[in-house]
Amino acid sequence: MANDNERPIPGASVGEQFQDNARMSMRNVNIFYGEKQAIFDVSLDIGQNQVMAMIGPSGCGKSTFLRSLNRMNDTIEGCRVEGQIAMDGQNLYDEKLDVVELRARVGMVFQKPNPFPKSIYDNVAYGPKIHGLAESRVDLDEMVESSLRKASLWNEVKDRLHQPGTGLSGGQQQRLCIARAIAVNPEVILMDEPCSALDPIATAKIEELIEELSENFTIAIVTHSMQQAARVSHRTAYFHLGRLIEVNPTEQVFTMPEHELTEGYITGRFG
Amino acid sequence: MDKLKFENHIASVFDEELEEIRNDLMAMGGQVEQQLTDAVQAICEADSQLAEQVIQRDHRVDEMELEIDEACVLVIARRQPAASDLRLVVAVTRAVADLERIGDEAKKIAKHALELTESGPSPMGYSEVRHLAQSVSQILRNALDSFARFDADTALATMQEDKKIDMEYKTALRELVTYMMEDPRSISRVINILWVVRSLERIGDHAKNLCEQVVFVVKGKDIRHRNGQ
Ligand SMILES: Nc1ncnc2c1ncn2[C@@H]1O[C@H](COP(=O)(O)OP(=O)(O)O)[C@@H](O)[C@H]1O
Ligand SMILES: [Mg+2]
């Protein structure tokens, strides 16, 4: 846990917000859509190689908060982010920071699989190409293969790399999007309800993949499935009406949550 | 979060399922208490008919264990309980196992009651049995009460009482050994009493386990194998 004077106003959130091995550090983050405030004074660390799950009732601000971690909110008209968001000590909202490069370092996977209308190969090769990561065609081939392998998709697509990505099943498309995100060698991967459009088997595959990916990447995942949070994450953050109510090791949150709002939510009770 | 409540689920059937599990557990506790009381009475009043009844009724306790266990498994499968709900369901499955074992011990006591009545009337050892049985029944009642009310303080206090039982058990053993030394003809009789006393001591241990589960439900702490602190 970080030192005490870094703590925000007392009583704001309960649990272990801070980590010694923080990869991303958010401090006193407020987010607005025009006049309306969607996130209130959230402070939180995401540790190296951790899977951080964010749960809470819909509309509580999970996606808003997640999007602020790679400045996806910049693209939303009227959205304003206050406070500090840093990766490895570097302020992500620094004016001099290259946002395109940031989104390569902090990749994102969305709710609905959204492959480009291109071949499977090109979907994965796109990032390395625009970021100039590949020196040669052979290099690129290798990157595509290793990304597809890391996304546990290689064996299923290796014989049809030049067919359109949109022809894959939903679960395969989602793994393709994950391959696309990891092709540019990110440090952090953000996932916003990545399984909500998938059937249970495709979901199980993605969950297994998340566990494997956490060996090499730091992951923040928004999920409306509490069981999914319980299965895949190391830490769980519970949001309620734009506030971070509690963050604790996942096993604690699901067996002995500290805050009664968390308890109410995960046991499926009225407020 | 000191106050536990097992209602107000958005799925109200879930409330009913948990309520039913708790009620069934209490019913099983009551049944087991009755078995213990009757078994002890069968010994002390040399009532072989009552002893037979206790032996007959043990299967009902076994059935209740299976029923409650199954209800818990169903709740886990259907509702994926979390937090206090999960702790409750887990604690109940552990508690029914202890109650079933208490039932077994009561049945053993009843069997010894039969052997004792066959070997003819003699009050030898009754006072030891009666004394220990009183303390054990009290502990069992307190354990079940603390479960019914999710009262961790009572549970913790009751666990301390179990130490008293261990003392009384040792005292009883010493006295029974003296009887055997004084009168070797009493040996077979006293050995029966020894087994009874041992069963009572075991029941005290199981009651203590019940208390540990109450603490687990209320405080989320597993205090098994920690020598009660
Ligand atoms: N683009 C937007 N413009 C205005 N308000 C928004 C926008 N996106 C989200 N909100 C509002 O911000 C709040 C949080 O939304 P969101 O982050 O999507 O919640 P969650 O992901 O937890 O369901 C909601 O009240 C929502 O209506
Ligand atoms: Mg959302």
pLDDT tens digits, B95-111: 999 999 999 999 999 99
Q: Of all residues in chain B, what percent carry a pLDDT higher than 90?
A: 78
Q: Show residues of chain B in contact with A254, CB under 8 Å.
A: 82-83, 86
Q: Among B122, B121, B161, B113, which Cα is nearest to B141's?
A: B161
Distance CA B153, CA B159 (A): 10
pLDDT 10s digits, A130-151: 999 999 999 999 999 999 999 9
Query: For chain B, what is the largest distance between any 2 Cα atoms, rounded to a whole number of angstroms?
Result: 68
Average pLDDT, chain A: 93
Distance CA B156, CA B134 (A): 20
Other Cβ atoms within 10 Å of A239 Cβ, number: 27
B80, B215, B222: best to mutate for the A interface, most A CBs within 10 A: B80
Start-to-end CA distance of chain A, whole Å, equals 30
Distance CA B114, CA B29 (A): 24
Domain assignment present for residue A202? The answer is yes
Domain assignment present for residue A123? The answer is no
Ligand 1 site-directed mutation target among A31, A33, A73, most atoms within 8 Å of CB: A33
- Cβ atoms A185, A154 nearer than 8 A: no
Residue A36 CB partners (closer than 8 Å, separation 6+): none
pLDDT 10s digits, B132-189: 999 999 999 999 999 999 999 999 999 999 899 999 999 999 999 998 899 888 888 8
Distance CA A152, CA A145 (A): 10
Q: Indicate the pLDDT class of residue B121, thresholds 50, 70 and 90.
A: low
Smallest Cβ–Cβ distance between A255 and the set B8, B11, B86 belongs to B86
Determine contact: B66 vs chain A, CB below 8 A. no
Q: For residue B226, is pLDDT > 80?
A: no
Domain assignment present for residue A195? The answer is yes
Query: Which residue owns the Cα nearest ligand 1 atom 21?
Result: A63
Q: What CATH number corresponds to the domain at position A105? A: 3.40.50.300
Domain encompassing residue A84: 3-114+182-266
CATH 2.40.10.340 fits B12-219, yes or no: no
Q: Indicate the pLDDT class of residue B12, thresholds 50, 70 and 90.
A: confident
- Closest A-chain CA to B89: A255
B87 to A255: CB separation less than 8 angstroms, yes or no: yes
Q: Which two tokens stand for residue A68?
A: 């602020």
- Closest A-chain CA to B219: A256
Strands A243-249 and A14-15, sheet pairing: parallel
One-letter amino acid of A154: W
Q: What is the pLDDT of residue B229?
A: 44
pLDDT 10s digits, A169-193: 999 999 999 999 999 999 999 999 9
Determine contact: B227 vs chain A, CB below 8 A. no
Place of tokens 């400045």: A71
- How many domains does the structure of chain A reveal? 1
Q: For residue B228, is pLDDT > 70?
A: no
B83 to A266: CB separation less than 8 angstroms, yes or no: yes
Q: Show residues of chain A in contact with B2, CB under 8 Å.
A: none
pLDDT 10s digits, B37-65: 999 999 999 999 999 999 999 999 999 99
B10-13: long-range contacts (C-beta < 8 A, 24 or more apart)? B10/A268, B10/A269, B10/A270, B11/A268, B11/B79
Q: Which two tokens stand for residue A221?
A: 């995942």
Smallest Cβ–Cβ distance between A256 and the set B11, B80, B220 belongs to B220
- Cβ atoms A67, A110 nearer than 8 A: no
Q: What is the pLDDT of residue A5?
A: 41
Rounded to a whole number of angstroms, the distance from the CA of A224 to the nearest CA of chain B is 15
Q: Show residues of chain B in contact with A258, CB under 8 Å.
A: 1
Domain ranges of chain B: 12-219
Q: Of all residues in chain A, what percent carry a pLDDT higher than 70?
A: 96
Q: For residue A14, is pLDDT > 60?
A: yes
Q: What is the pLDDT of residue B225?
A: 80
CA angle at residue B198 from B194 to B203, to 5 degrees?
150
Residue B32 CB partners (closer than 8 Å, separation 6+): B61, B99, B102, B103, B106, B140
Q: Which two tokens stand for residue A128?
A: 């390395």
Q: Which two tokens stand for residue B179?
A: 């009887």
Out of B113-127, B160-174, B207-221, least confident range: B113-127
Q: Show residues of chain A in contact with B84, CB under 8 Å.
A: 263, 267
Domain assignment present for residue A254? The answer is yes
Q: Indicate the pLDDT class of residue A4, thresholds 50, 70 and 90.
A: very low
The contact set of A with B (CB < 8 A) is: 226-227, 230, 254-260, 262-263, 266-270
Q: Indicate the pLDDT class of residue B8, thresholds 50, 70 and 90.
A: confident
Tell me the C-alpha to C-alpha distance, in Å, between residue A215 and each of A176, A212, A218: 19, 6, 8
